[in-house]
Amino acid sequence: MTDAPTPADPVIRFAGVTKRFGPLTVLDDFDFAVAPGEKVTLIGPSGSGKSTVLRILMTLEPFQEGTLELAGIAYHQPKGRGAFRASEQHLRQIRTHVGMVFQSFNLFPHMSVLRNVVEAPMVVLGLARVEAECRAVDLLRMVGLSDKKDHYPSQLSGGQQQRVAIARALAMRPRVLLFDEPTSALDPQLVGEVLGVIRSLAHEHDLTMLLVTHEMRFAREVSDRVCFFDKGRIAEQGEPERIFTNPEHPRTREFLQSVL
Ligand SMILES: Nc1ncnc2c1ncn2[C@@H]1O[C@H](COP(=O)(O)OP(=O)(O)OP(=O)(O)O)[C@@H](O)[C@H]1O
């Protein structure tokens, strides 16, 4: 089964999006929509285009054709006009509505944990320091790092750095939070603490979440919908229980057998 009903008022919508890297077509006439508050996980083989979807959403990658709608803002790229690149104004709008947690944390190394979390709300949203700090203190408590607010990233474990990165993304109060393999760079013993924070977020908040992960058990626990990606297409999607216990597409079965 490749089709999922399109939500009436999606917060994310790709319609006929084509993305090429030189001669390589990664997404071909790609359609995909996510409802507000939905938690959707993209799984699939390496190189199938999962991260590219997130990077296009975050405007980190231009695309060649199609329409992208994000939090009510639409971007259309007509065929044959080169690659869509967002204007400065678009970039600002996107970055206010969408947060992204990367594999490699990407914290500012010269800033304390607290400063990492308050920086964007102050600079981008114009929040007063006292308000941004209040927000940051709450979020650092939520990710279990209240006692590390004056530390620098180099003084933290990878798992702690990633939890700061999650707090930093949440400090912007985004409508959509993207996770690109958030535990891939971590030592195995640190994976659980990061997944725990994301799991609580997924279960306790109405934030829209789109995740790329190789952690299948985690995908099963947190997702409303799992999409199996194969060669730039969603070969199969559905509720996690069904996808993991009774996959219909041969490629999904083959993939799950190789990773479970
Ligand atoms: N900047 C780039 N330049 C050229 N090719 C790229 C670039 N970024 C990605 N690709 C190619 O696009 C394809 C899709 O990559 P993408 O990272 O989206 O896959 P993925 O499914 O997320 O893989 P993984 O699970 O390994 O992260 C791959 O063949 C990759 O080599």
| Residue of 246, 244, 193 whose CA lies nearest to 223 | 244
Q: Is 259 in the pocket of ligand 1 (CB under 6 A)?
A: no
Mean model confidence pLDDT for the chain = 92
Q: Is 56 in the pocket of ligand 1 (CB under 6 A)?
A: no
Query: Cα of 258 to ligand 1 centre, how many Å?
Result: 20
Residue identifier of the C-alpha nearest atom 31 of ligand 1: 47
What is the Rg, in whole angstroms, of the alpha carbon atoms belonging to the chain?
A: 18
pLDDT at 76: 82
Q: Is 53 in the pocket of ligand 1 (CB under 6 A)?
A: no
Residue 250 dihedral angles phi and psi, to the nearest 5°:
-55, -35
Query: In whole angstroms, how far apart are CA 190 and each of 41, 132, 158?
Result: 21, 28, 7
Q: How far apart are CA 38 and CA 31, in angstroms?
A: 17
pLDDT, average across residues 110-128: 96
The string of pLDDT tens digits covering residues 219-240 is 999 999 999 999 999 999 999 9
pLDDT at 3 over 60: no
pLDDT at 90 over 80: no
ipTM field: 0.96
Q: How far apart are CA 104 and CA 181, in angstroms?
A: 9
CB-based contacts of 113: which residues, under 8 Å, 6+ apart? Answer: 140, 145, 148, 149, 150, 151, 152, 153, 156, 164
pLDDT at 5: 59
Query: Cα of 223 to ligand 1 centre, how many Å?
Result: 23
CA 44-48-50 angle, 5° bins: 75
